[in-house]
Amino acid sequence: MKKVLLATTMLAGTAGFASAEVAISGYAEIGIWDNGVTDVQFWHDLDVTFTMTGTTDGGLEFGATVDLDEAGNLGSSTHDNGGEVWVSGAFGKLTMGDTDGALDWALADMDGGMTSIADDHSTYTAWFGGSDMDGNGAHDNQVVRYENTFGNVGFAISLEQNDNGLVVGALDPTIGVGVKYTADMGGTDVALGLGYQQTEDAGGKFSAVGVSAAAQMAGGFGGKIGYIKFNDSNWDSHLGLEVSYKSGPIGVAVNYGKIDYTAGGDVDGWGAVANYDLGGGAVAMFGYGDDEDAGGVRTWSLGLGLSF
């Protein structure tokens, strides 16, 4: 996105800060959407993001991001408020707020690295995004994650408290660990992920372990696979697959997801997305989703994504 610089100058008498910057970026969508139930509808959406970064005299980097369309609880220290704050240095990076748990951080998303105006390709029930263990209803969606990278290997640990911090100790926190490995193998970019996360709700304790692999070839073709195994009374496993192609301004991808239930039975679905970069921050977008869990509802959208 293009960024408009709002402030870069510090007061001359201020000590302890080497530099600071506040930037604003915008995103808008316009088009049409079929939700699979009613008639085709007009669609528009607006989003404004503030990004704040700074560096101390000692080299400690810090920053915060606020997404205004999600910031309903901005200012609350115990709720998901559409923002995150981070500090980074030789010790690694610590992030707190509306961010991914370690399992989600480690695993690949089956979204093709593209978007559609209504996200049809990535919102059906069985879509694989690796975030199955985040946002447990008994917890507050405020994640603390530490991460560090050593060469091609990165690792992370995360913690999420319960009950918006109001009832300490009532339920165990959500705890996660994740590892990622990236490499260039003869012109093919490879990314591997492994993660574990455990939590507790009113039904008891449960956990999940997940793996993913992604490859992007020099010719533009790519593929991903992800799998999560649950120790849960509801879900047994979650599978995700994706194939994609990107060349110049064109990008297309198809993904598939399947959830197997512990008690037997399953649901699956699939999605497709196509993007064409028009230049100057404008992208033509098409998305499609087929959701078996919603009774076979098929949704699609077509329009422009506009970055400022």
pLDDT value, residue 3: 38
CATH number of 4-307: 2.40.160.10
Q: Is residue 98 within 8 Å of residue 172, measured between CB atoms?
A: no
State the DSSP string of 123-179: -STT---S-TTSS-TTEEEEEEEEEEEETTEEEEEEEEEEGGGSSTTSSPPEEEEEE
> Considering the entire predicted model, what is its pTM?
0.86
Tell me the two tokens of residue 12: 């001359």
Using DSSP's 3-state secondary structure scheme, residue 68 falls into: helix
pLDDT value, residue 138: 60
pLDDT value, residue 25: 95
Tell me the two tokens of residue 48: 């404004």
Cα–Cα distance measured from residue 222 to residue 217, given in angstroms and rounded to the nearest whole number: 6
pLDDT value, residue 255: 98
pLDDT value, residue 15: 41
pLDDT value, residue 68: 79
Q: 169 has which bridge partners?
A: none
Cα–Cα distance measured from residue 132 to residue 207, given in angstroms and rounded to the nearest whole number: 10
How many C-beta atoms surround the C-beta of residue 186 within 10 A?
Answer: 7
pLDDT value, residue 129: 94
Q: 160 has which bridge partners?
A: 143, 174
pLDDT value, residue 72: 54
What string of pLDDT tens digits covers the 308 residues of the chain? 333 333 333 333 344 445 689 999 999 999 999 998 888 999 999 999 999 999 999 999 999 999 876 555 555 554 555 689 999 999 999 999 989 999 999 999 999 999 999 999 999 999 999 988 887 656 777 899 999 999 999 999 999 887 555 555 577 888 999 999 999 998 899 999 999 999 887 778 889 999 999 999 999 999 999 999 999 878 999 999 999 999 999 999 999 999 999 999 999 999 999 999 999 999 999 999 999 876 789 999 999 999 99
